[in-house]
Amino acid sequence: MTIVKPTFADLKSMKINFPVFSILACFLLVSTVSAEQYKLLPADESDRDLEFVEFKQQMLEAARNREPEVFVTLLSPRIFNGLNQKRGMKQFLKIWEPDSIDSELWETIEVILEMGGGFIRSEKGVEFCAPYVFSHFPSELDIYAHGVVTTENIPLKSEPSLSSDTKKMLSYDILQVLDWVSIQDKSGGAVNWLKITTMQGDSGYINREHIRSPSDYSACFLKKKNKDWKLNALLTSE
């Protein structure tokens, strides 16, 4: 299956009066950090709204059970598919092909929702954007040149090899990513590595599995007044 992916950059290039401008409000959630505190801890505000908790569970169940007929009922009829894409359900289905057995939609939605996020109030209603790596990323940093370690005690290696020296352990650190192209493990292992530099200046390699870009897949969900929650946008950087 070939997916024509909407882009994170689409959001940044929108005019203020563009219909989906409210999505940009997610940047109101960003956390600014000092040079000594370049970490981004997991955050999930979803339990602050019981209606959203129920909606989130419905969407997760539809994704886990691969139920496109249920999933489409949870979409906004005017869902944003990217600045260079038509809005709406028809285009969404064309892009993601949820009826296909190998659709990337299901795993993408599961990961996004399971990683938490945060609420925004906008002129259109209330929005929840996820994952937290997207919604809470520090505003002063380049989203394309940085990544976030999404778990604890991940080794920073001196070489792209499991057998190389461990320089330090990283937990929820924000990192400068020198190249997003993965490097195969030199010792023949199954690990793919990324070359990075910590915000304190330590260079090395980290397992690609444990780092996520704030410009990777993200979603925003919208609740208009007297309406139900709906998936309002699904985006990625690529």
Chain segment 198-229, per-residue pLDDT in tens: 999 999 999 999 999 999 999 999 999 889 99
pTM value is 0.82
What does DSSP assign to residue 109? Answer: H
pLDDT digits (tens, 9 = 90+) for 93-139: 999 999 998 899 999 999 999 999 999 877 888 999 999 999 999 98
% of the chain with per-residue pLDDT over 90: 72
Place of tokens 């330090």: 168
**Total tally of structural domains belonging to the chain:** 2
Residue 16: other Cβ atoms inside 10 A: 6
Give strand pairing partners of 193.
183, 207
pLDDT digits (tens, 9 = 90+) for 50-105: 999 999 999 999 999 999 999 999 999 999 988 788 899 999 999 999 999 889 99
- Average pLDDT taken over every residue of the chain: 86
- Segments forming the whole domain that contains residue 104: 8-32+41-140+216-235
Give strand pairing partners of 7.
236
89 and 184, same domain (yes or no): no
Of 28, 25, 20, 132, which Cα lies nearest the Cα of 76? 20
Which stretches of the chain are DSSP H helices? 8-12, 50-64, 68-71, 89-96, 105-114, 132-135
Give the SS3 label for residue 36.
helix
- Sheet with strand 174-184: strands edge to edge: 166-170, 154-157, 203-207, 192-198, 174-184, 146-149, 211-212
CATH code of residue 191: 2.30.30.40
Residue 13 lies in a domain: yes
pLDDT for the residue 68: 96
110 and 73, same domain (yes or no): yes
- In whole angstroms, give the CA distance from residue 74 to residue 102: 21
- In whole angstroms, give the CA distance from residue 59 to residue 53: 10
227 and 188, same domain (yes or no): no
- In whole angstroms, give the CA distance from residue 55 to residue 67: 15
156 and 66, same domain (yes or no): no
- In whole angstroms, give the CA distance from residue 167 to residue 189: 19
48 and 116, same domain (yes or no): yes
Contact 161, 185 (CB under 8 A): yes
Residue 3 lies in a domain: no
Q: Which amino acid is at 112?
A: I
- Asked whether the predicted pLDDT for residue 187 surpasses 80, the reply is yes
pLDDT for the residue 122: 76
pLDDT for the residue 75: 97
